């Protein structure tokens, strides 16, 4: 599901079952991440799918990338793997107004 930043944040703040997933490259992450996010690079191909498949599918995943395109694809892949709740951040970290920290 695609969410605006406002909806993504307000839902995330009250979600006790939330995981923030950054699907950018390591180099991109070195420029800053949303706090408490885990990184799995979507460009890793099959390795990316294997890492996703190892995640707890009962959690709610808040997914972001640079602009929202890769994270939308990641959400689609996760849904195909049986994840029930994936939320794509529209506009990605480019349009993020919240806190950004060093990884």
Known catalytic residues?
65
Task: Specify whether the CB–CB gap between 91 and 67 falls below 8 A.
Answer: yes
Tell me how crowded residue 83 is: count the other CB atoms within 10 A of its CB.
20
Can you list the positions of beta strands (E) in the chain? 2-3, 18-22, 37-39, 60-64, 85-89
Q: In whole angstroms, give the CA distance from residue 49 to residue 36.
A: 21
């Amino acid at each position: 599901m695609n969410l605006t930043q406002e909806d993504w944040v307000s839902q995330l703040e009250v979600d006790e079952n939330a995981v923030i997933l950054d699907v950018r490259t390591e180099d991109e992450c070195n420029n800053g991440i949303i706090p408490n996010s885990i990184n799995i690079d979507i460009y890793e191909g099959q390795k990316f799918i294997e890492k996703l498949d190892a995640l707890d599918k009962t959690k709610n995943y808040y997914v972001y990338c640079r602009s929202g395109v890769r994270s939308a694809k990641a959400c689609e892949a996760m849904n195909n793997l049986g994840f029930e709740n994936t939320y794509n951040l529209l506009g990605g970290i480019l349009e993020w107004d919240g806190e950004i920290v060093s990884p």
